[in-house]
Each structure stands twice: as C-alpha cells, then as structure tokens.
Chain A
Amino acid sequence: MTEDVIASRARALAGALAEGGFARLRVRDGETEIELRRAPRTAPPLPAPAAAEPERAAPRADVITSDVVGVVRQLRPPVAEGVELDADRDLAYVETLGIRNPVRSRGAGRVTQVFVTDGQPVEYGQPLFAIER
C-alpha cells in the first residue's frame, strides 16, 4: 500500500472512529495495519462556584420539571405555548421503563414556554414547561 492510500484509509477510519464512539480502532489488511486512537480527553476545568440566581421578572412563572429519567411523550395535540389551563391538567408524559408518568400543571395558568419536544430524553429536574400563574 502506498503512503497516499494509507493516508486516505486512515482519514476514512478516523471518520468511523468518531461516528462509532470508539476510543481505539485497529484494521489489518494483508501486511498493513492501521491503528487509530482518539486523543485522550483533557482534564475538565474545576467547577466554578455557583453564581447567584438572577432575579426573575414578574409575573411569576412556575417551571415544571421532570420527576423521573425518561422520554417525553407529548399529548395529542401537544400542549403548546399560549395554552390557557383552567385547573390542574396533564401537560405531557415522561415514559420510564414503559411506565407513563403524567406531568401535571399543578393548577391553572398560561403555558409560556415548552422546553422539550416529543421523544426527547430528560433527566431528573429538567425543565419541561413554564407556566404563568
């Protein structure tokens, strides 16, 4: 194999390495062996002390967060920004291991923000909806 061919193969493999999420990839073809390694991760910076929360402007908005780790399932039709809620209503579900956990509005109000889309994975505490009371 010429150097040009090796270089072009290595480039193609580098793409596969990044795409596949591997840290190391070794390919043998006859007498040529190409081994690629992803550069070691550099140490992350130390966390900065938490900044003070900026004061929120009135009117008061409640942020509804996820109680579980799972995947967002929107209602049909989905609850969109601007929807008025007359009481405690379902806003969406978060599905965890096949169980649908309802996300409730916890009272009346107007949905001012939808932070998530259908099928999106969410963690505990992740903002889902903002509701102006």
Chain B
Amino acid sequence: MFKKVLIANRGEIALRINRACHELGVSTVAVFSDADRQSLHVRHADEAFCIGPGPVMRSYLNIPNIISAALISGCDAIHPGYGFLAENARFAEIAADHGLTFIGPKPSVIGAMGDKATAKRLMREAGVPTTPGSDIVASVDEARAVAEKIGYPVLLKATAGGGGKGMREVPSEAELPTAFATAQAEAEASFKDGRMYVEKLIVNPRHIEVQVLADEHGGVVHLGERDCSVQKPSHQKLIEEAPAPALDQAVRDRLHKVAVDATRAVGYTNAGTLEFLVSGDDVFFMEMNTRIQVEHPVSELVYGVDLVKEQIRVAAGETLGFTQDDLHPHGHAIEVRVNAEDPSNNFAPAAGTLTSVVFAGGPGIRVDTHVYGGAMVPPFYDSMLAKIIAVGRTRESAILRMERALSETRIEGVRTTIDFCRELLGDPEFRAGGIGVGWLPAVLARRAQLV
C-alpha cells in the first residue's frame, strides 16, 4: 500500500479522496490555489502545497507544480479525482516518469478512450453495440454519403470533442454543409483537432451508465448501472440514481455484460464508467470515462463498496477483494447536485460568500461537500457546492428521504439548485421513471412559456 498520496484536485472530491486515504492509513498531500487557501480539503490533508493563483491553467492544471509538490513531499502516488487532469494521458505518463503511481488506468487506455472515434472503434471490435455511423470523415461529401446511408437526423461530432463543443445536430441534408463547417471550426479552435465523424442521432434517449472496477490481475466486476437522464440543456447532470428505474431486466443484464466484456477487451484497470444511450430495447455505447465520477456515491450506497478505496487498493497492485457473485445490490439511491446556480436564469453560476450553511442529516442521508458557513465560493471553478445522496429500500422511499433532506438544507448567500431539484422530484413524469435526456430541457421550455 502507498505511504503518501497527493490529491490533485479541490472541492468535495478532494475531501472524498482524503477520507478514503485516511481510512486506509495513507497520509495525504493537498494542493490548492490562492483562491482555495481557506478550503476544507486543505485543512483535512496532512500536508498542503499552494500550486498557483486562482485560474485553473496556472494551478489545478499546472502539471510541473503538481508533480513537484508530490516529489518534494515524498508521495508515491497521485489521485486525480474527476475533471482537471483526471483524463489527461500525458499527466499520467509524466507522473509515471517521475516514479509516481497514477491512480487510474494506464495512460495508453486513457488516451484511447479520450479519442471518441478510437474508443467507438475499439468498442465495436469488442462486440459492444455503438450508434450507427462512421469513422473519421475527411470532407462534407463523405459526411453526406454516411448520413444518407444511416438516415437523418444525424449528429456531427469532433473526435477530440467534449462538453458539447464541436457537436451539431443535423436534421436534414440542407443543414449539413453549414453544420459541418461550424462544428469543425469550433473543434479546431477548442481542441486543435478538427477531425469529425458522423453518427445516427438517437432522439430523447435515456442516459444510463455502468460502473466497472478492474484490478491488474484480471479481476473485473460491474457495480450496476446509474440513470443520469436528468440533464440540463448543457448536458450537465443534475439528478442521478441507481438502479435505473423502469428498465427491462433483459436490457439491464445486457448493459452489465457488455460493460464487463468491453472493460476486459480494452485492458482496462481501476474504476471506470461506460456511458450508454438507451432507447427502448436498444443500447448504444457513447463513451467511457476513465476516472471516478461525480455520481459514484449512488453505486456505493447500493452495492456497499467504497469505490475510491478500491481505486487506491487496485492502483497499489492489490486484487479486488470480491467477485461478481459477492456483490448484491440493496435498495435504491438517488443523488442531487447542489450547485451555486440560478435555475431561473439559465443556471448562471454564482460566486460569493455563503453566509449560512445547514445540511440535512438523519437516516439514509449522505452529504459530500467542502463548504461551510462563511466559506467563499471562488469564481474560477465548477459551481457544485455539495452532493446530497439518499438511500432507501425502494425508489419511492429514497425519493421521499431526498425531499425531506432538501427541505432541511439551508444555504444562504448564493442561489442554489435545491428548491428547483425538489420541484423536479415531485414531477409525475419523473416519479413514474424512465424519462429521457430531453425531459428537463422540455420542462424548462414549458416554464419559460408560462412566464
């Protein structure tokens, strides 16, 4: 086991990793920006290094300063958390070059999964169903030929893309030339990589993802699926739950099997997530996230496994302490993201001082957060303040617990998503289960018309 781990992140996930390390008897080193000097992740770690000013390019993305802090403090491993450098293959390589274990998969696997067209091809070769479409298309004419074959509407995507950048929905042939030109220009500007591919647009699918865990000795398990279909128009997730409600058992079993097979096929190690689009009985691989995810706690609560501890154990070369047969899901868990955002104003992020903070407690409630009364929310980072997770024997009891927890929670000083999410939980369509990713944008559009 490692002696000391550097946590290359901030916020709630830095605290989450710190907790896992301390429970394993591993010392921790936090890194922080000038803007995070008062942050709880700094206070809870055994040691801490300031790595730069507030803007992320000069602090949380500053590879030399982060590696240097790890070496100076005598760390033997780095946990990247999510976001920032978590899926940067180059960072993982540099860490290894300096004798530091990167707590995640091998750099080559991070690289392969990070390139969307490559990931899709590898998955197809492994027998994973993918959306009908193409490899890289060299021109708009090639794109047109593919689109005609698979049928409109199609989706143009940049292979280096992410966060919706370099992506265009194309309803018909008439819109194709303009969409191709603008998406490619956007990808060139954002990722310095204008390579595009085409795929069939699946209308209003569900977003269902499968959590996998693999050790370096051939052990691979899944920890069931999560339904993350409640997404803002920007495709950011807002409410997640496990297991996926109203899902045919055959589809569920197929997702699990496909995820485990694919994990083996690409030689994946550590924790990872395969994201799928689900439409009726059809499932299509979308992408694989080679890191721990924000919504990992819902799987932890249903399966009773500490995913972050397992990540650390596996990276240290240990075998998984269980097989698939040892894992039995219990009950239902749901997570709400409490963001410093204004839902009535297009989720505009807010920064400022939290004048008062009171979180919920009681049976079946877990709160993962880094904020406290008097804490500053700096303007440089993600707006998430906390994750509230509720678990119950049934979906209904988990939702009722969540509604109760949200009503207990008080955050003053900035606008948050608490009340908005509470309203969503009460929506009959959400309650019925099985909504698609188009549901929340449609709810927002209806509200906008009412105003």
Q: Which A residues are within 8 Å of any B CB, using their own CB?
A: 21-24, 40-41, 44, 46-47, 49-50, 68-71, 96-97, 99, 121, 123-126
Contacts and interface: CB of A to CB of B under 8 A. Distances in A.
A64 to B, nearest CB: 16
Nearest to A45: B43
Contacts of A99: 64
Contact of B68 (A24, A49, A96): A96
5 contacts: A44-B44, A68-B65, A69-B72, A97-B67, A124-B49
Contact of B372 (A23, A46, A121, A124): A46
Tell me whether chain B's interface is mostly helix, strand or loop, or mixed. Answer: mixed
B52 A22 contact: no
Given A97-B64, A97-B67, A123 B43 contact: no
B126 interface: no
Given A123-B51, A124-B49, 18 more contacts: A22-B3, A22-B25, A23-B22, A23-B25, A23-B26, A46-B374, A47-B38, A47-B374, A68-B65, A68-B68, A69-B51, A69-B68, A69-B72, A97-B64, A123-B69, A124-B34, A125-B50, A126-B50
Given A23-B26, A123-B49, A97 B98 contact: yes
B27 A96 contact: no
Interface in B16-40: 22, 25-27, 34, 38
Interface of B: 3-4, 22, 25-27, 34, 38, 43-44, 49-53, 59, 64-69, 71-73, 98, 372, 374
Tell me whether chain A's interface is mostly helix, strand or loop, or mixed. Answer: loop
A23 B68 CA distance: 25
Going nearest first, the 9 A-B pairs with the smallest beta carbon separation are A23-B25, A121-B72, A69-B65, A44-B43, A69-B68, A123-B50, A24-B25, A47-B38, A123-B49
A44 B38 CA distance: 12
Contacts of A69: 49-51, 64-66, 68-69, 72
Which of A24, A40, A96: most chain B CB closer than 10 A? A96
Contact of A96 (B38, B43, B64): B64
A125 B34 CA distance: 8
Given A22-B25, A24-B25, A97-B98, A47 B68 contact: no
Contacts of A97: 64, 67-68, 71, 98
Contacts of B25: 22-24
Contacts of B73: 121
Nearest to B3: A21
